[in-house]
Amino acid sequence: MIVRLFPLLLLAFASTAAAEPLGGRDEDRDQARERAAAAHQARANAQSLAESVRRVERATGGQILSAERVPFDGRDMNRIKVVDSTGRVRVITEDPQRPRRDRGRDE
């Protein structure tokens, strides 16, 4: 009798043991996706800040003192401090989510 039940018990145990890691794997996948999304957003923010720094540097011809992302009105803004050619410290704030218009065109 025990010999007949052993394969059934083994099958039941194997199916419950296999079901538990699958649930854990789904949670692991969700966490991995969240981490990947956060890393992607961090790279996008860093690129946006770097682009703003390059744009301000070209526009002013000055030396960049600092650059940071600051919250303003529910959005993240790029705040760049630069010393211009006259020696003045200027603070330039840009919204990286707002598209920039071409300066040479009248619209």
On whether the CB atoms of residues 78 and 93 are closer than 8 A, the answer is: yes
Put simply, whether the predicted model's pTM sits higher than 0.85 gets the answer no
pLDDT of 46-81, one tens digit each?
Answer: 678 899 999 999 999 899 999 999 998 888 899 999
Tokens of 106: 């009248």
Among 51, 100, 105, CA closest to 78: 51
Q: What percent of the chain has pLDDT over 90?
A: 25
According to the model, what pLDDT value does residue 106 have? 35
